Amino acid sequence: MTFPTPETWLAHRISYGETDTMGVLYYAEYLHLFERGRSEFIRARGMSYATVEERGVMLPVREAQCRYRSPARFDDLVQLRVRITEWGRASLTFAYELYSENRDRLLATGMTQHACVNASGRPVAVPEWLRGLFTSESPA
Amino acid sequence: MTFPTPETWLAHRISYGETDTMGVLYYAEYLHLFERGRSEFIRARGMSYATVEERGVMLPVREAQCRYRSPARFDDLVQLRVRITEWGRASLTFAYELYSENRDRLLATGMTQHACVNASGRPVAVPEWLRGLFTSESPA
Amino acid sequence: MTFPTPETWLAHRISYGETDTMGVLYYAEYLHLFERGRSEFIRARGMSYATVEERGVMLPVREAQCRYRSPARFDDLVQLRVRITEWGRASLTFAYELYSENRDRLLATGMTQHACVNASGRPVAVPEWLRGLFTSESPA
Amino acid sequence: MTFPTPETWLAHRISYGETDTMGVLYYAEYLHLFERGRSEFIRARGMSYATVEERGVMLPVREAQCRYRSPARFDDLVQLRVRITEWGRASLTFAYELYSENRDRLLATGMTQHACVNASGRPVAVPEWLRGLFTSESPA
């Protein structure tokens, strides 16, 4: 499997509150998990999304999508793979793959597309420092 | 049963996403429901909490408590009773009672205590207009 | 605007707990709202999703997607339009349009694709009674 | 500070989806965090709550309480201290203390009281194996 680098992995334990009556991770919770994944992606490169915002750049989600393949259950430790798959002039796209603990079973795939806007919400070109940071290998 | 007036009732339908693996309304969701209840309490008096905030008054929660008596399940229509039970100089306390659809079975009781603070987070005495509003009968 | 009937509308008040630091409805909450919408779609036809499950049919989400156009904020009353846009042999697809209170501003669009499975999770053809029910006009 | 042992600590990163319009961790999310904490408490003793349930014992929450002292914000790493403070014949009580990253600032305190019930929801005496397990020191 070829997966464009750089990538970041996040481990996450499924809590009771994230499950539903069917006994599985509720479908909206995957988007929470994706958000944790991209925050970790940024943090792995030495910055936090909070700092990105302080620098006047916000990355609101324009579109989100998830394909559910196999359910996750309470207490499962799941593994999320995060990367950036597309750069627009004023946008970028994250892709996600959710795996079981041993990374041998694919549970879900998804994407989020983000606009790049300034503090007043106007679209702006992706700053060079952000693109450089997000395309760098994680130091760790 | 004596229940100090004024009071406000809120009906709420339990969604799948609010339930957990045990098939019941997850325990943290009661606090979401309480928040909906006190917003409705304010709205029933002709204002919204958003407007309260715009007037420079915030009511952050200092303490929350809930006693769970009987579970609610997916698709249940539940009925929440909201009132104010205590006024401090710079605080107030909401009490909640959650009932089944026909209001004949008590599912939970709870309370939230709120500080009254200004926009910079400093405690301030409860403004007269707010106290007047919150102790008025709902026009409806 | 042509929108295949039958359709169902659901009104929903944005709570504080559904918003995030940016002051807007958090992006995962749209999927919660979509779920409320399709439950209401079923209820408007005289059944509840709980009953559908009791009859041995489950409709787990296979894919979800949302396009965010304009944010919703705390205390906004939003209007969700729900319909079914596609029928497979063992699947169906819901489409959603989220509008502002007066239905004059489109806030988001989305879809969820559902498998039709039996109690043991095996794909089964959509039962005739379910298809008949879901394609009927709401009595109300 | 005297804090009855055994205790377990859980580190947790605040996500965007857990915050609200005020820019802080939403008050209901503390209960989610408490649940993560007690699951970790059990796991640290070599079992998982899922296994406890498989053995026919459930610990539904009868009461929950939280006192909010200082807010947590997006991207904060918080530290949760968990212990058991009370044993009844058919109940037990967890206590929680939430701290800032360096454990030098107390953000919140709370408790949850749990009934001990069997698979059909009837109260049962706390089994010896469970009490033994929960009062043991974490091996790690």
Set of chain D residues whose Cβ sits within 8 Å of the Cβ of C74 = 21
B111: which strand partners? B65, B95
Q: B29: buried, middle or exposed (CB in 10 Å: 19+, 13-18, 0-12)?
A: buried
Set of chain A residues whose Cβ sits within 8 Å of the Cβ of C32 = 28
What stretches of D13-96 show up as alpha helix (H) in DSSP?
Answer: 29-43, 49-54
**Taking Cα atoms as reference points, which of B101, B20, B32, B108 lies closest to residue B70?**
B108
Identify the pLDDT of residue C4. 54
Evaluate whether C134 touches C92 at the Cβ level (below 8 Å).
yes
Sign of CA dihedral D24, D29, D31, D34: negative
C19: which strand partners? C25
pLDDT higher for C19 or A136?
C19
Distance from chain centroid for Cα D95: 7
Query: At residue A3, does pLDDT exceed 80?
Result: no
Set of chain D residues whose Cβ sits within 8 Å of the Cβ of B67 = 62-63
Contact D74 A50 (CB under 8 A): yes
- Would an 8 Å CB–CB cutoff place D58 in contact with chain B? yes
Please report which helix (H) or strand (E) contains residue B130, including its range.
helix B128-134
Q: Could you tell me what percent of chain C has a pLDDT over 90?
A: 89
- Helices and strands in chain D, H and E counts: 3, 5
Identify the pLDDT of residue D44. 95
Evaluate whether A60 touches A114 at the Cβ level (below 8 Å).
yes
Q: Could you tell me what percent of chain C has a pLDDT over 70?
A: 95
Mean pLDDT throughout B121-129? 95
Q: Which of A16, A31, A35 lies at the smallest CB-CB distance from D35?
A: A16
pLDDT tens-digit map of B88-108:
999 999 999 999 999 999 999
Q: Which of A16, A17, A20 lies at the smallest CB-CB distance from B16?
A: A20
Nearest CA in chain D to C27: D17
Set of chain D residues whose Cβ sits within 8 Å of the Cβ of C17 = 20, 26, 28
- Indicate the pLDDT class of residue A4, thresholds 50, 70 and 90: low
Q: Which of B27, B61, B71 lies at the smallest CB-CB distance from D31?
A: B27
Suggest the residue from C8, C10, C12, C13 to mutate for an interface test with chain B (most B CBs closer than 10 A): C13
Cα separation, C26 vs A35, whole angstroms? 11
Which residue is it, tokens 């039970």? B85
CA distance D140 to chain B (A): 29
Query: At residue B60, does pLDDT exceed 70?
Result: yes
pLDDT tens-digit map of D26-75:
999 999 999 999 999 999 999 999 899 999 999 999 999 999 999 999 99
Identify the pLDDT of residue C82. 97
- Would an 8 Å CB–CB cutoff place C65 in contact with chain A? yes
Evaluate whether A88 touches A112 at the Cβ level (below 8 Å).
no
- Would an 8 Å CB–CB cutoff place D77 in contact with chain A? no
Cα separation, A29 vs B26, whole angstroms? 14
Query: What does the mean pLDDT of chain C come to?
Result: 94
Distance from chain centroid for Cα A29: 13
Cα separation, A84 vs B31, whole angstroms? 37
- Would an 8 Å CB–CB cutoff place A65 in contact with chain C? yes
CA angle C11, B37, D26 (to 5 degrees): 95
- Would an 8 Å CB–CB cutoff place D15 in contact with chain C? no
Cα separation, B76 vs B5, whole angstroms? 26
Residue A132 has phi, psi (to 5 degrees) of -60, -45
Query: What does the mean pLDDT of chain A come to?
Result: 93
Identify the pLDDT of residue D139. 63
Query: At residue B1, does pLDDT exceed 70?
Result: no
Identify the pLDDT of residue B139. 63
pLDDT tens-digit map of C54-105:
999 999 999 999 999 999 999 999 999 999 999 999 999 999 999 999 999 9
Contact D35 A17 (CB under 8 A): yes
* Close Cβ partners of D22 (under 8 Å, ≥ 6 residues apart): B58, B60, C16, D71
Contact C21 D16 (CB under 8 A): yes
Identify the pLDDT of residue A137. 80
Q: What is the 3-state secondary structure (H, E, C) of chain C?
A: CCCCCCEEEEEEECCHHHECCCCEECCCHHHHHHHHHHHHHHHCCCCCHHHHHHCCCECCEEEEEEEECCCCECCCEEEEEEEEEEECCCEEEEEEEEECCCCCCEEEEEEEEEECECCCCCECCCCHHHHHHHCCCCCC
Suggest the residue from A34, A68, A114 to mutate for an interface test with chain C (most C CBs closer than 10 A): A68
Global pTM reads 0.95
C82: which strand partners? C8, C96
Q: Could you tell me what percent of chain A has a pLDDT over 90?
A: 89
Which 3 state secondary structure label does DSSP give A48?
coil
Token reading at C59: 């409709």
* Close Cβ partners of C19 (under 8 Å, ≥ 6 residues apart): C25, C26, C73, C74, D20, D21
Q: Which of C27, C62, C112 lies at the smallest CB-CB distance from A64?
A: C27
Residue ranges of C 116-135 with Cβ closer than 8 A to chain A:
none
Query: At residue C107, does pLDDT exceed 70?
Result: yes
Token reading at D47: 């079992």
CA distance D19 to chain C (A): 5
Which 3 state secondary structure label does DSSP give D10?
strand
Residue C101 has phi, psi (to 5 degrees) of -50, -45
**Chains meeting D at 3+ CB pairs closer than 8 A?**
A, B, C
Q: Dihedral angle at the C-alpha atoms of B14, B16, B20, B25, nearest 10 degrees? A: 0
Of A4-8, C24-28, D54-58, D116-120, the one with minimum mean pLDDT is A4-8
**Taking Cα atoms as reference points, which of D5, D25, D14, D2 lies closest to residue D79?**
D14
- Indicate the pLDDT class of residue D4, thresholds 50, 70 and 90: low
Nearest CA in chain B to C30: B17
Q: What is the ipTM of this complex?
A: 0.93
Residue ranges of C 28-47 with Cβ closer than 8 A to chain B:
31-32, 35-36, 39
- Would an 8 Å CB–CB cutoff place C63 in contact with chain A? yes
List domains and CATH numbers for chain D: 7-134 (3.10.129.10)
**Chains meeting A at 3+ CB pairs closer than 8 A?**
B, C, D
Nearest CA in chain D to C22: D21
Contact C17 D23 (CB under 8 A): no
Query: At residue A138, does pLDDT exceed 80?
Result: no
- Indicate the pLDDT class of residue C114, thresholds 50, 70 and 90: very high
Nearest CA in chain D to A48: D75
Mean pLDDT throughout B65-71? 98
Contact C28 A22 (CB under 8 A): no
Query: What does the mean pLDDT of chain B come to?
Result: 93
Mean pLDDT throughout A89-103? 98
Query: At residue A1, does pLDDT exceed 60?
Result: no
